[in-house]
Structure formats: structure tokens, C-alpha cells
Structure 1
């Protein structure tokens, strides 16, 4: 039966993974699949665009996306993505102006079910408003944003957060902009992007005022520069007073021993001098920055429930909100168990693993190369610290040159410029090194099938990275961390290799195992078929149908109940409906 489904996220659906990462990439494919099953699908996003013409929170309709109505809430009091709102976390709990506009949309759309995929750009009272209009509420946990204001459950985006100290550690966790200044910046940016003379003049006036303030500060700048010059003059006098000793480059050539050939000075043997530091020293340095190795046991934060800081109060409010939803879906068992430890009712939350659009592709796996050829390892994703590139670097820095010569490494990662030079120092002895700061989704098939192993080394509890699923679709084994949902997809020795998360020593040993297994019967070859987006959409459709059945008096639907109706759904042609908006359409 066709339903009116409202999907909520913070990023524009048509931009896919380019904006909003894996979650938006998933919705980019899921939305049209639900529409193809006959559902009336609306997509609402917000928290990105700000303007003072007009002021106040309002919405606009964009062009439809493959039969989906797309609506953007403009001037939301809650900024997206999460880091932009980090310094004002309680705005994500109550935002009266935002809930007023969202309620107005609910009144027009009349959804049977609202499926929240993120609350970034929105507030808890927006979720609660759905119930007032008779809609069922489903919340999918793709990440930890409802527990952690900056999403990752990592301190400083590096060390896994084991204790947030009742929210006190959150206040200094990351550097984040002031939300008010960020809104002003976005207003100015939007004005500059528009071909509007008045807006450009206003923007020019603001810049002129700022420049005038700078010019009027000349006395302060003169004093500052004068002090700087004085300090340099004093330093020069001190240096001139010291005796000047010059040293010629190189070493003496007095005796025959001075001219002897030393093995480590022979360029062909430089690779054998690796590592410069011992592996133990490298591991210690990494631990100082990233914390200790992780276990993969979901645990309750020891200070959860102590409502001392605003971030702790926000977390408590978010858990309460989840317990008011009709159903909560986790993308992996780890995520489900983690949220249960934090207070989400076990009977309300269940695991529903998402599909991947690439699972519809069945390319033949190319012939495996021989054991004598280098093992080609690839990393695909963003260069965020907790995605594992620093961990891989530390592991490789502690390996012998002879072992590195048996590895070819490719990195496709936006932002790789910050770590790329460190990897280049390992080439040679690395057999190959290819570093790119971008890739297109259309390139994934070629990238993954042209490598032997895909490295998914998250140093935190990654819920279920899409890269792991995409790699397994193309029957490329995964070298994965035992963290979050990764070991639920990667089976050690079957379709990949697992190592202890956030542990360079463990990763180093598994790299040696990968080298040894290449071209032998120990190579992972047991790949299962993965869930496609179309089959996942059918699963969700059956789930929606059972949850919205009028005869059902239960507000909570178990996973088994959903499975019992799976397959009963009749595919229908997508329908299009018009939304009468009180504002003009874009």
C-alpha cells in the first residue's frame, strides 16, 4: 500500500555523498527506490542556507529529484552540519521558530510516517511535532550524533571518548565556530552569490566599515611594530657579541678510514635502515596522540546520567527523544548495543543493515596476480584522523624496508594533503605509491577491482562504513579494524583480515599476514551477496506498512514482525503529488 513518507536529513539529496557523506549518499539512492515502489516521498533538509532577505525561518521547494519532493528550511535556528552548532547544543533540543515552520510543513504534507536519518539542522521538538499530526516516527542511527554533539565519539576528533565527564570535556573537545558568527558569514556568502545590487552594496559597506576600523587602529600597530624592531635589534647585538665559528660541510678526509664505504651510506641500502625509530617508539608516539588500542565491547559512558554540563543534558534529552519514537533502527549490532547501554529501550531499537547501490553490479573479479607481485592496498574515503590513515602510517613506519617493498599503496582521500608527504617518505621502499585528493563515485568499481585489499582501519567505533560494503561487493578483501560494525561485515580469513582497532602493532602484523597470504590458498575468497538498495527499499516498505497499519494497537514493531510482511508489498508505479506551498517555489 502506498504511503506518504517524509525523509529528514541535513544535506541536499541531489548532491549525494559529496555533501553529507555516506548517509546522504545512501539517501540519494534510497529515496528514488522508495518512490519506485509507489510511495509518495518528500525530502526535507535544513541548517545550511541563511539570508536576511527575507528574515526568519521559512521554507522553499526545490526541483523534484527522481519523483521526490525536495524542501529546504532556510534560516533554521539550528545550524548544520554538527560542528557549526557545537557551541550551542541546547538549540538542538528546543527551537520554537523552527518547530513552527516544520509543523506548518507537516500540516501540508500529511505524512503517514516520518523517517529521521539525522537531526542536524533540526531539533528534538521537531521530532515530537510529527506525533501531533498522527505520523509514525522512525529514527535511523547512522552515527552517534544523538550522543555526541560532534558525531564521532572522539575527543578532538582523534582519541576515542571513553568518558565525557558529564559533558565537561565536550566544551573544549573541538574548535568550532560561534553559531551567530557562522550565520552572519553564511548570510554574507549567500548575498555575494546573488546578482543583486543592493545586497552587494550592503556587503561592500560591511567590508568598508571593517577596513576603516583596521585603518583607525594605526597607533596600536605602530607601537607593536616598534617593539618588534627593538627586539630584533637586541637579538642582533647579542649574536654579534658571540665568537663566530664556521664549519665546513661533510666529514674529514684525513685518514683511509675516513674514506671507507659504510653500508648505511650506500644509497641502495637506505631502505634497510627503516625504521629510523623503533617500532615500539613509533607505537608509543601514536598512542600519545590517538589513545590506547580499542576493544569492541559497547559500554555505557561512566558519567552518563550526570547532568552537569549542557552537552550532558543534550545527550539525556536525545535518548529520551529516541524512546518516544515508534521505532529506532541501528545500522549495526554494535550501534544498537551501544545505544541500549545509554538508555534506549531494547524493545524499541533493532538492527536493520542498509543496502548499497553498488550491490546491483556484478563485475567479474580480475585474475589474481602471483605471490611475487606486490600486494596492492587501497584506502578510499575522507582523510579524517579516525578513519585510519595516521594508524596505517604508524604501522608502515615501523616495518622493515624489505617488507614495504612488497606493498603498493593507493590513497584516494579528500584532505590527504596533510598526511601525503609523510607517506611519500616511505616511497621507496614502497613498491608503488599513488595519492589523489579526490575521486568520483563512478570510479569506485575500477579503483576497488584494480587493488588486492581495501584498507578500512577506523580508529573508533565506526557504525558501518560504506567503503567496507562497497569493497566486498567487488570481492576485494577488506583489511579492517575490529571496531563498531566493521567485524559484522568483515569475517577474518573469509572475506578479509581483521586487526585490533587503533593498534599500529596489530595492523603491522596483519600487513605481514596479507603479504604472506597473497597468491596462496589462504587468500580470502568467501564473499556473500550483499543487500541491494532495491531489496533494502522493499524491506523498509514492508516495515513502514506494518508500522502504519491502522488495526495495529502496538506502537513498537519488532524486526520479526517486519520480516513477516517482507515480500508481501506489491510494486506500483511512482506517483507524483503537488505541494501547495505558502511561499513561492524556487
Structure 2
């Protein structure tokens, strides 16, 4: 089978951008390249910008599977990536400048049996119009996030609350408090291309220093201008903590070191980013036209969980096109041999583990507030292990204060997948208190695969790993319900073993690949895109 995968960042990106979606693609493509005869092609877009040659084009790239995987990058996309950098973009429905480039690529590099969009970030939505050039290809959209519905990506309003109503686009106008300037985003990517061309590669000290110097020069230039309000971007844009599903990598590959927060060190305060605005009608048209394109052009929409299927259907994606395909992970390979937690490691003491990002949408501030509200008799018997990126000084101070009234709080700034067993060695339960409809966070799968039951909010797909067990699920807005679960575990009314009675088996890469093949080849003709015969 000839399969083309699209994502805004290449699956083996050396800067490890793209969060959980990139990690998923990396695992899947590696599996297909090693264990199947499928011919795999990958395309990325939105990050490569050429200051010298402004022509929109698709170039061949190198990758970590030479001879088995073909990889390409679209250069000078009019739609920057990731998605938030294209907030309110006028190019999402382009037909004149980018669509012909895409169709020419399909003609020259195809034919493809399947074209799977793991994201729509970095390209116009019109790229879904595959059948105009390749009528026999199956067009698959895998919903790892909600970018097709929401320009913020996560249905997460003003970095504060779950969004259920965009009020005819009015709430979208000010949804992202700190928007990057698209022109500065492009310039930063142009600089990256120049640096790589002369041998200065990402991750090196020279690379970082060049961007620091770039930021200084930009500030000097703005001070000498009369453009009014400054729009600083001091470093090369990235996913900036990610919007999709991530696993909280520390990126170094070294063992994360947990630090007791009874003796913290200060961190620098975060800097502000610029503002930008679009009219409400832009966001209304975006949603209406986006849904029209999906329902007309896409053969199969994959949901990472039953909850995602419900959300997509609720927003108007044709229910008959949606199928559930839980993502596969490498962590699942060892799940059968994992030592399932069945009782508390230390009787009368409950150790909670939180992994990933210290962000509001992931529920980290909610978790801290719950601990702060917790009765002394419960909190004094809790221990917290945190391995998360993005904790600002205020968050660390809160953790330090909590450490004084708990058994302990241990913290490290992110983690590597290889060190999960050690990080989770003493954990009784994992915490997944997501506040948005998180499709299926890989960190939840990883904890379950390592034998750690998880307590989840009612939002998103993570609860399905435990069979939506109500004893381990709380309302995302209720601190009281979460405290009650902790209390029941401490008092023995609830045991970690109770989680496994309803839990599902994490999906291996082999099982996931088989599920995809089944879905690719079994799309009923009456469900497939009507544009194929247009």
C-alpha cells in the first residue's frame, strides 16, 4: 500500500516539535518502515521559509529511514505552523497559489492509495481537495486535535476554560491573549533555514546564540522605528508547550532528576507576546467552510477515542464518516508484563504522579488548587511526583508551599520516555485532570502501560483507558469529587486494583497498524467522498 502522511512538522524533527502528534507519526512510520511492505511518503509544511527564493514549492528532505521512507517539505507556505500562528489567516481556503502546487505534487509523486492528514496545520484546508487530482485515493483525516473546528486548536477559550460556544465568532476574536506576529514567525523560520544551510544546526549553542542576537537586533530596530506598539518575538517560534497531545519530553535524553521542593531555586519570569485580532465573521466562515470541505472531500475521519467521535459529530461532521482508532504506542508493547498497582505502595499514604505539561488546559493548576483546598487530614497523607515542562516561578512557589503540608513534592522539568519506569516506580495512581476535550493524551497511555492506574476528569478520551470507570473519574470542574477519590483510596474504600477490572489494553503499534489497514480498505462506497465522481 502506498501511503502519504501529512503533518506540519516532519516525524523525525531534530527539534522535537509537534508534541504527541509528531511522536505518534514517528512511532507509526518507524513501525511501517521496519515491519511492513507499505511504501511510506511524508509531507510537512509551515516551518520552511526561504528568504531568497519566495516561490511556493515542495522539496525533498532527508529522514531517519533512508531507502524506506520518502520525505518532502512545502516551502514558503502562506499558512504558518503551528496552528496558532495562522490564527485568522486569510489563506486557509486558498485555491490559486498553494492548491496547484499540492495537486502537481500528487501527480508527480503518486499515485497514493491513502493520504492521511494527521493535522491540517500549516496548509490551506483546500488541500483536502485530493480527488480532483487523485480520484482513487482514500482521503483520511485523523483528529488528534480540533484545529479543523477551532483556530486555537484545543477548543480552549482564552487559556482559561473549556469552549462550548464561540458565540458566532465573537469569542474567537480575543481567544488567544498573546498572538505571535505571522511576519516575525516567517522571518524566524527563514533564519533557521539560513543557519542550517551553513551548518549551524538546531540544539547547538551557536544556534541558540544566533536567535538571541536576532532578538536583540529586532528590538533595536523597533526602538528606532515609529511603528507604535512593539511586537517582540525573542526566539524562534515552536509549539511553545504544544497544543495537542504531548508527553512532556525534556529533549535531552538524559535521566530526569526529581528535586524535592522544600529547597527551591528561582526561575525567570515569562515574557509577553504580541496581540493580533480578526473579525468574528472570519471565524464563522472558517468553521462553516471547513466542515463543508471535510464532509464533501474526506472519505474517513478517524477519532482517537469515543469521546472525540462524539465531539466531532456534535459539531457537524457526518457521523457515518467517523470511526474510532485508538492510537498505538511503543509503551503498549510492555504493558502485558507491567506490574499493575493493586494496593498502595505505603499503607495510609497515596503517591500521585503528574507527567506532561504544567498548563491550564492539561489541568495542572486545577490539580494544585485541589491540593490547596484539600482538608489537612487528607493532604498530609499525599505525596506528589511531578515531571512537567512549563512550570513558571509562581507555580513552583505553590508547589513549594504544598510540599510543606504534604508527605513531599518531588519535581523535575520534563522527562524522557526511557525513564518513565523509574519516575513511576513509587506512584500509586497517575493524575490526568485535563480541562479540555483532550483527544487521547499519550501520557495517560504511558502511565497505564506502566501499570499505573489513572484518575481522570470526565473530559476527553483518557477515561476510556479505564473503561470510563466512574470510581476513577471526576467532573473536570469539581475539586470536591477529586478529593473524595483520594480520600477513598487512602481509607481503603477504593483500591488501585479496582481500576483494572474495567481497563482496556493499551494498543500496540502492530495492532494499530492493522486497525488502520482494516479501516483504509473497508470504507463503504456510499460513505466515500462525493467529490470522487465530480
TM norm structure 1: 0.72
Q: Is the 8 A contact 1:30 1:537 kept in 2?
A: yes
Secondary structure in 1 matching 2:499: coil
CA distance in structure 1 between the partners assigned to 2:430 and 2:220 by the alignment: 51
1:168: which partner in 2? Answer: 170
The change in CA–CA distance for 1:467 and 1:208 in structure 2 (over 3 A counts) is closer
Q: Residue in 1 aligned with 2:286?
A: 314
1:178 deviates by 2.5
CA distance in 2, matches of 1:453, 1:138: 36
Are the equivalent residues in 2 in contact too, given 1:469–1:489 (CA < 8 A)? yes
Give the equivalent residue in structure 2 for 1:515: 490
| Counterpart Cα distance in 2 of 1:25 and 1:205 | 30
Please report how far the alpha carbon of residue 26 of structure 1 lies from its aligned counterpart in structure 2 after TM superposition.
Answer: 1.0
Give me the whole-angstrom Cα distance separating, in 1, the residues matched to 2:489 and 2:125: 47
Partner of 2:122: 121
1:328 aligns with 2:277: no
Of 142, 147, 150 in structure 1, the residue corresponding to residue 149 of structure 2 is 147
1:26-425 pair list within 5 angstroms: 26-35=24-33, 36-66=35-65, 67-88=68-89, 90-94=90-94, 96-110=96-110, 111-134=112-135, 135-174=137-176, 175-192=178-195, 194-195=197-198, 211=220, 214=223, 309-324=281-296, 325-361=298-334, 362-365=336-339, 368-369=343-344, 372-418=347-393, 419-425=395-401
Pick from 10, 13, 21 the counterpart of residue 12 of structure 1.
10
Question: What is the deviation of 1:546?
Answer: 3.5
Shift of the alpha carbon at 1:492?
6.0
Deviation of the 1:384 alpha carbon? 1.8
Q: CA RMSD in A?
A: 3.1
Indicate which of 501, 517, 527 corresponds to 1:541: 517
1:458 and 2:434 correspond = yes
CA 1:517–1:108 in 2, change beyond 3 Å: closer, same or farther? Answer: farther
CA drift of 1:553 comes to: 4.7
Q: CA deviation at 1:46?
A: 0.9
Cα distance in 2 for partners of 1:452, 1:61 equals: 48
User: Pairwise mapping of residues 409-448 of structure 1 onto structure 2 (< 5 A)?
Assistant: 409-418=384-393, 419-448=395-424
Distance verdict in 2 for CA 1:452–1:370, change over 3 Å? closer
1:209: how far off? 9.5
The 1:376/1:352 distance shift into structure 2, 3 A limit, reads: same
SS of 2:58 mapped into structure 1: strand
- Asked if the contact 2:352–2:428 (Cα under 8 Å) also holds between the matched residues in 1, the reply is yes
Q: Distance in 1 between matches of 2:166 and 2:517?
A: 38
Q: Tell me the secondary structure at the aligned position of residue 524 of structure 1.
A: helix
Residue 137 of structure 1: CA displacement?
0.5
* C-alpha displacement of 1:130: 4.6
What SS is found at the alignment partner of 2:293?
Answer: helix
Q: 1:316 Cα shift? A: 0.9
Q: Are the counterparts in 2 of residues 456 and 480 from structure 1 also a CA contact under 8 Å?
A: yes
Q: Which runs of 5+ in 1 are unaligned?
A: 218-306, 558-586
Partners of 1:177 and 1:205 in 2: how far apart?
Answer: 16
How many residue pairs match? The answer is 457
Superposed displacement of residue 94, structure 1: 1.6
SS for the counterpart of 2:403 is: coil
CA distance in 2 between counterparts of 1:440 and 1:53 reads 38
1 or 2, which has the higher helix percentage? 1
Answer yes or no: is the 8 Å Cα contact 1:420–1:435 preserved in 2: no
CA contact (8 A) 1:475 1:525 kept: no
Structure 1 distance, partners of 2:157, 2:54, is 36
